[in-house]
Structure 1
Amino acid sequence: MVLKKILLCAVFAGACLFCTRLSAQNKNSPVDNVLTPSPAVALNGYLGNKLSASLNNRIMAQDADRLIEPFKLKNRTETHLWQNEFWGKWFTSAVLAYKYQPSPELKKVLDHSVSSLLATQTPDGYIGNYAAAHRLEEWDIWGRKYCMLGLLSYYDLTGDKKSLSGAIRLADNLISDLNKKDGIIVTKGNFRGMAASSVLEPICLLYKATHNQKYLDFAKEIVRQWETPDGPQLISKANVNVGARFPKPKNWYSPEQGQKAYEMMSCYEGLTELYRLTGNETYKKAVMDAWENIRDTEINIVGSGASIEMWFGGNVVQDRPVTHYQETCVTVTWLKLTGQLLRLTGDSKYADEAERTYYNALLSSMSADGAVWAKYTPLNGQRLPGSEQCGMGLNCCEANGPRGLFNIPAYMVTSRKEGLQVNYFSDGVFKLKSPQGDSVVLTQHTAYPKSGTVEMDITLQQQQNMEIFVRIPAWSKNTKLSVNGEIVNDVQAGRYTSIKRTWKTGDKIIVDFDMRGRVIEMGTTTRSAAIMRGPIVLARDSRFEDAGLEAALKPVTDENGYIELVEDLTKADDVYMAFKASFIPESYTESPGGPISITLCDYASAGNGKQPSFYKVWGAQLVNKAGE
């Protein structure tokens, strides 16, 4: 009954050695983020259209009352399904959308939805749909987590005390239910307790909002239990490949499964929040080590991964057909975890990864009109909508997709103590604060990533002595950067370039990125090749090749290994971007023919047109022993 012991100690502070140890830990200094989000953003062009489509056709189109129906007392009969997650996923998406584009219509929806959810809260504080005899089982705690996240996001947006009170009562009820059982959270539900213990994130946010010590104690106890034999051991195994931390279980979706990708990353998100509260470097190191391992062993060329929702060492087999590849919930959570580390550290490697994921894996999951999200998106194959789940009229990925989509805008351009930091590039207007607290407006004029040129105009209340950090992506090996026509030296790929000067209204930054086509190869005995341009992965599509997708093609490159890409305007109606490129086709004759021209489109458009089509990112390369 360790958890009960913690809560009793919180009441009788200092009454035992355990409390003394916790008290000493709690003296660690909280940690501030390096980056502060922009409070007002307006995007135009490609991304602006994607955000509007999702807002109008997915978020506003959702029948929110249907998502609350399972929580009503008469419907609390669940024993194993996850209807309880849909409201929180949809609602947190809607809050992010409102922060990006406030409107009275959306605010009315948010207000009604919160009041309707709180109306289902019973006197003991429970909000959920599980039968009393099955509380704490399967997905019950997971659903409570999403309800807490929704209520806390509304409190953060509005300062509404009723929503905060609802979250407090919900958390207290969870702690009480656990104490009545056995105090152990990592034995509840599946996946070595990761689904249940990912409640760490809202518990940390609740402590931040209330400063009630029992929530911080509960958060630390969750992390302590991770390291027990039954737990997921997320700290001690942070350097162990995420796809090989535990033996393969007899049943794939089971309590013994320790490789569940989405839930694991959700736990690491919570651990990041706990690090912010405590400054405990062990927590930070575990998150960073796990992130590096996921990137290196699992994340594929378009920025996602996982097979049948589990980590499996997938990076090295990404050019082969993979069962149920890169679930959109995995994509969204990888994007969110990466964003956590970006705002915590300001490190360009996190922005590089998030950009790749956003433009490729995430946007490819969304239908052109924003109404539907695919559950799985292969690198070679078809895009198919996900099946309805739990009788809710949608699936987990349709509820979750917009959370990733609206997660990025506020962090495209950010404030930091030295000045501003430009993390991403899109035509739009970004309103921020200078280090002196004055208003700053940074306006980007660009067709990025179609174009590699980005112009940034600065508008200030008065002259400001500050630094502006501009990200130079790792793929841009030859970048030109200027301020008011003067070239900036020491521009390095994979880093932020710092420009320190006295800034005034009318100053202009221009950056020209290296948008040459890059050939990405993998494999040893059997080799495959793919093409990237800037952050965009390109793909062949049967719309442009009839039935020729299985033909083996070798990219024609220059002496530096780059492939020439010529914009193909004839495909503009059906795709975001398309290019002609030269390839050497497979040949079974004595005298092979010359290069042929093939159309490539952006991965997000591939298979995502008006008519269904097949597509492929990776092209097999001929085995040629004589040419080795």
Structure 2
Amino acid sequence: MGTISRRELIRIAAASAVTLPSAGTPATTARLQAANRRRAPEFAVAEQVPEVFTSLPSGSQELRGVLADRMRINVEGRLLRIDADACLSGFVRRDGAGSFDAAWVGEHAGKFLDAACNALRYCEDDRLRHITERMAQALIACQEPDGYLGTYPATRRWTGWDVWVHKYNLIGLLSYYELTAAPAALRACRGMGDLLVRTFGEAPGQRDIIGAGEHMGMAATAVLEPLCKLYRFTADLRYLEFCEYLVRSYDHPHGPRIVTTLLESGRVYRVANGKAYEMLSNLNGLIDLYRLSANKTLLEAVLRAWENIVRCQLYRTGTLSAAEHFQPDGQLLTLQSSNVGEMCVTVTWLQLNWRLLRLTGEARFGHEIERTVYNHLLAAQDVSNGNVSYYTSWAGCKEFTDALLCCVSSGPRGISLIPQLACGLQQNALFLNLYVAGRMRCKSDGVPVEVVCETAFPAEGRVALTVKAERATHFTLRLRVPEWTSGFHVRFGEHTLAGIPGQLLDVSRTWPRLSTLDIDMDMPTRVLPGSPTHPDYVLLQRGPQVLALEQALNPSVPYLHRVALTGGTVTPRSAALVAGWGERQVYEVDGIVGLPAEGDQLRPERRAVQLVPFADLMNGRVWIARADRMRSDPPAVTAFARASLSVVSLGLEPTADGQTPTDIAEFLTDEDPHSFCTVNPQDFGLANYLGSPRGRRGDPVWFAVMLRSPASISRIVFRHGAVSASGGWFDTTEAMPRIELARSPIPTSANGAVPDNSKVRWETAGVLEHYPRSRASTPPTLADGQLFELRLPQPLEVYGIRVIGRAGGDYASCAELSAYG
């Protein structure tokens, strides 16, 4: 019999992982198999600061309603359809030449394992169990004898995202170990942990971990989170000491100074380079280390970050970041061009609030969990197939994908957490954090108790609870009173209790064997201002849900960005069932709609418009114009479309003190002539990260706008940005700036964000003849926002437009690039 190589073993295991057993496995068989599985392992180390909120044990709850539907879609559409070979490809082929893709490909297996194990803890599924076991076995088989489990060849170890990949392998395999108690999983984790401890540190011959990760080391130091858990399972003090080293390394030269900066400034925007995902990952690790060490400095730093985020960085839909970074305080960019709400960030923010809820039991963290779950988390999932939106903006068509991308792998982790977020135990209390239909089981002083919840929340605010106890028993039912409600009343028997918004309400009593409790919470609709970033607009929030205009439900509304509210109190009415929309929530409000008319102005008309929860939006917008600010001019066909720049910044370095980023593509299409965007050819961008040489002063730059479907245009408007002595204009010494058109679809990256210009044929439409003559070092006489127009000889159908020219000074600027029919 021949010897099977390690690579062949991996290939066989990966192939097995995608061979699904029959979906019709009898329930009795599943129960027998579950009974024969190993008991979950115990932690070897107790925490110095124990958690006060613990999720219900596995199998202790069954959820129904909208959240249960989304969890089912997550399993059926994503987890059961995982491409195991793609997840493992970076490990199998690590000895190859290596590529940009290999940098991240290693994180997907660990993310899958974590999501799948969460799903299996909630509900056993033989198909998913089979895939999960095979994925874990195949991943473990990839480990080198020295413990290395990354995707980089030996000559490139510990560069780029190598430690980050180990972080997710640790997370995934530790989650698998918690579920199965498989010794091989813990051995693999110890091998990785031992290798990290040997490789990085402050002893002679060891590497500085700050140099082993992107974003000023934050990608590498994020391994703090799983190493805390590895210490708890093993009681190996080396892992705890390594965790403390990681925190000390924050203050190494070129380090992110996470704790120090937060304690000094309290602003996440000023921490390192402001990269949200990696920073939040470190904050999660700091909470875990605080529970092990009781070092209050760590908790204080995290709470300062949390408070700054909620005050200055948080979107009403429960996400953070634009262009994957925290922005200057109060600047909330919302268009597709700004790559809003990276799914990885949404999920990691959710995890942070879950940790803080478990640590403190405070209602404010439960409130943020509710906001994120019912808005941005669900909004990034395609209900038809489980695909995920990498970024989820407040305007435009959702850009769902099934590609193997970091955010597509993060989404299932967030949705799989829902059962653990819904309710839990806090001392002798059953804590209801989310109001979800279903049933929950626990014990009070050894007495089995079942609570059945009937509700259509968040469509309505009525909740009926039935409490069943094996015998009369005393315990507390702890209810989170939503911050947004204007009235919260609990009735049982002849008693009525009133809750205070944003706080907890305890119902403490001796419960008979059978009793009922009714909760009534008002579901007010609030009109919230868009200022300071979007002062001409408002948004509607009903209960916990942000509402949005859906194009498919408003076929007679030509421009969703020319819709305003009528003023006064807004009371959404439930709309009749709409074909193709199922039983999902649809609301109707009275609005003012701008309709085409003779001349160059729109005709306002009162008309009912339909809205849906942002979580269900497919193509539309959150922003609604203020009645006193509604524009009457016909919009450009490119208004609010996705824009792109010749240099795609990765933001690897911090923004200098006193400066704010100006390379904001959203400003090209936001209809605000006062905002402008810049491009500096010398900036380090995505193309340079991929290996292209860095640009030079005076190189050509461009600003572009892309359309999802072709539009007929007859004129293009380019509005100049601001000019200063350092730049902001086009140098016309060799050529005038010109307008170019794309007549065929523009291919993009898998997440829809970056155009593949190597595959685009740009045709010259004309030059800007009236642009003032200028030189590379001498700014021309240009007014900020000065307009230049190019009229086409005849209408043309296009998929994109761009203006291109040589940057004058250090950079060129653009306040508007629009095309009109």
Q: Report the TM-score range of the alignment, normalised by the length of the smaller protein.
A: 0.7 to 0.9
Q: CA deviation at 1:441?
A: 1.7
Does the C-alpha gap of structure 1 residues 45 and 243 become closer, same or farther in structure 2, counting only changes over 3 Å? same
User: Contact conserved, 2:336 with 2:392, CA < 8 A, in 1?
Assistant: no
Contact persistence 1:307–1:322 (CA under 8 A): no
CA positional deviation for 1:174: 1.8
Q: Larger % of helix: which?
A: 1
Judge which range, 287-296 or 88-97, deviates more: 287-296
In the alignment, is the contact (CA less than 8 A) between 1:127 and 1:170 conserved in 2? Answer: yes
Following TM superposition, by how much is the alpha carbon of 1:505 offset from its aligned partner in structure 2, in angstroms?
2.6
- How far does residue 41 in structure 1 lie from its aligned partner after superposition? 2.0
Query: Does 1:53 pair with 2:73?
Result: yes
Instruction: Answer with 1 or 2: which has the greater Rg.
Output: 2
Q: Do structure 1's residue 531 and structure 2's residue 540 form an aligned pair?
A: yes
Per-residue deviation at 1:529? 0.8
Change beyond 3 A, Cα 1:624–1:192: closer
Match of 1:461 among 448, 459, 470: 470
2:567–2:627 Cα contact (<8 Å) kept: no
Cα distance in 1, alignment partners of residues 222 and 330 from structure 2: 25
Q: Which stretch of structure 1 is more off in the superposition, 317-326 or 345-354?
A: 317-326
Taking a change above 3 Å as real, the CA distance of residues 193 and 555 of structure 1, as seen in their structure-2 partners, is: farther
Q: Does 1:620 find its partner at 2:636?
A: no
Q: Is this contact kept in 1: 2:594–2:604, CA < 8 A?
A: no
In the TM superposition, what are the counterparts of 1:186-225 in structure 2 within 5 Å?
A: 186-225=210-249
The 1-side partners of 2:251 and 2:579 are apart by 53
Aligned to 1:237: 261
How far apart, CA to CA, are the structure 2 residues paired with 1:568 and 1:622?
A: 23
Match of 1:307 in 2: 322
- The one of 104, 109, 113 equivalent to 1:87 is 109
Write the letter of the residue equivalent to 1:551.
R
Aligned partner of residue 612 in structure 2, secondary structure:
strand
Do structure 1's residue 262 and structure 2's residue 277 form an aligned pair? yes
Q: Deviations over 1:398-446 (max 9, x none)?
A: 1110100011212311111131111001111112232x24332221111
* Contact kept in structure 2, 1:556 and 1:584, CA below 8 Å: no
Which position in structure 2 is the counterpart of 1:384? Answer: 399
Once residues 179 and 367 of structure 2 are traced to their aligned partners in structure 1, the CA distance between those partners, rounded to angstroms, is: 29
Which residue pairs with 1:441 in the alignment? 450
Q: How far does residue 178 in structure 1 lie from its aligned partner after superposition?
A: 2.4
* Structural mapping, 1:146-545, within 5 Å: 146-178=168-200, 182-238=206-262, 240=265, 242=267, 244-245=269-270, 258-313=273-328, 315-318=330-333, 323-386=338-401, 388=403, 394-434=404-444, 436-484=445-493, 486-489=495-498, 491-523=499-531, 526-545=535-554
Contact 1:414–1:432 (Cα < 8 Å) also in 2: no
Give secondary structure in 2 for the equivalent of 1:415.
strand
Q: Structure 1 513/362 Cα, relative in aligned 2: closer, same or farther at 3 Å?
A: same
On the 8 A contact 1:241/1:294 being kept in 2, the answer is: no
Amino acid at match of 2:409: A
CA–CA distance in structure 1, aligned partners of residues 579 and 277 of structure 2: 35
**C-alpha distance in structure 1 between counterparts of 2:381 and 2:607, whole Å:** 32
What is the distance in 1 between the residues matched to 2:300 and 2:177?
A: 30
Secondary structure in structure 2 of the residue aligned to 1:297: helix
Q: CA contact under 8 A between 1:319 and 1:528: conserved in structure 2?
A: no
Please tell me the residue identity of whatever aligns with 2:562: A
The answer to whether the 8 Å contact 1:244/1:259 transfers is yes
| Shift of residue 351, structure 1, vs aligned partner | 1.1
Distance, in Å, in 1 between the alignment partners of 2:531 and 2:90 is 49
Where does the alignment leave 5 or more consecutive residues of structure 1 unmatched?
1-26, 247-256, 389-393, 608-613
In the TM superposition, what is the alpha-carbon distance from 1:305 to its structure 2 partner?
2.2
Say which is worse superposed, 520-529 or 341-350, in terms of deviation. Answer: 520-529
Q: Distance in 2 between matches of 1:593 and 1:130?
A: 60
The alpha-carbon distance between structure 1 residues 106 and 228, as it changes in their structure 2 partners (threshold 3 A), is same
Sort the Cα spacing of 1:534 and 1:144 in 2 relative to 1 into closer, same or farther, 3 A: same
Aligned mates of 1:570, 1:385 — CA distance in 2: 25
Answer yes or no: is the 8 Å Cα contact 1:69–1:75 preserved in 2.
no
Structure 1 residues 604 and 164, CA gap change in structure 2 (3 angstroms): same
Alpha-carbon distance in structure 1 between the residues aligned to 2:456 and 2:579:
14
1:117 Cα deviation after fit = 1.3
| 2:48 counterpart residue number | 30
Question: Which of 571, 578, 583 is the equivalent residue of 1:564?
Answer: 571
Contact 1:481 1:512 in 2 (8 A): yes
Match of 2:617 in 1: 606
- Aligned match of 2:764: none
Tell me by how many angstroms 1:243 deviates: 5.3
CA-to-partner distance for each residue in 1:197-231, whole Å, 9 max, x for gaps? Answer: 10001110001101111111000010011123422
Residues 300-332 of structure 1: per-residue CA shift (max 9 Å, x gap): 111112112111137543466651111111111
List per-residue Cα deviations over 1:582-626 (Å, max 9, x = no partner).
224569999x9774311111112211xxxxxx311012325569x
TM-score, with structure 2 as normaliser: 0.66
Letter in 1 for 2:528: I
Task: Tell me the distance in 2 between the aligned counterparts of 1:28 and 1:100.
Answer: 25
Cα distance in 1 for residues equivalent to 2:552 and 2:594: 21
Distance in 1 of aligned mates of 2:279 and 2:566: 38
For 1:29 and 1:360, locate their aligned partners in 2 and report how far apart those are by CA, in whole Å: 33
Amino acid at match of 2:612: C
CA 1:111–1:399 in structure 2 vs 1: closer, same or farther (change >3 Å)? same
Deviation at 1:570, TM superposition (A): 2.9
> 1:464: how far off?
2.0
CA shift digits 1:237-274 (9 cap, x unpaired): 2253655316xxxxxxxxxx621111100000001110
1:108/1:594 Cα in 2 relative to 1: closer, same or farther (>3 Å)? closer
The SS at the match of 2:227 is helix
Q: C-alpha separation between the residues in 2 aligned to 1:93 and 1:447?
A: 27
CA distance in 2, matches of 1:71, 1:407: 27
Tell me how far apart the structure 2 counterparts of residues 495 and 431 of structure 1 sit (CA, whole Å): 24
TM-superposed deviation, 1:42: 1.2
Does 1:125 pair with 2:125? no
Structure 1 length as normaliser, TM-score? Answer: 0.86
Amino acid at match of 1:190: E
| In structure 2, C-alpha distance between the alignment counterparts of 1:202 and 1:94, rounded to whole Å | 17
Cα 1:505–1:230 shift into 2, 3 Å: farther
Report the number of matched residues. Answer: 571
Alpha-carbon spacing, 1:149–1:28, altered in 2? closer, same or farther (3 Å): closer
Map of 2:88 onto structure 1: 68
The CA RMSD measured in Å over matched residues stands at 2.5
Deviation at 1:356, TM superposition (A): 1.1
Describe the SS at the equivalent of 1:600: strand
Q: 1:372 to 1:73 in 2, by over 3 A?
A: closer
Letter in 1 for 2:234: T
User: What residue identity is the alignment partner of 1:196?
Assistant: A
Match for 1:244: what amino acid? Y
Q: CA deviation at 1:29?
A: 6.8
- What is residue 391 of structure 1 aligned with on the other side? none
1:429 counterpart SS class: strand
- Report deviation, 1:527: 3.1
Q: Is the 8 A contact 1:319 1:618 kept in 2?
A: no
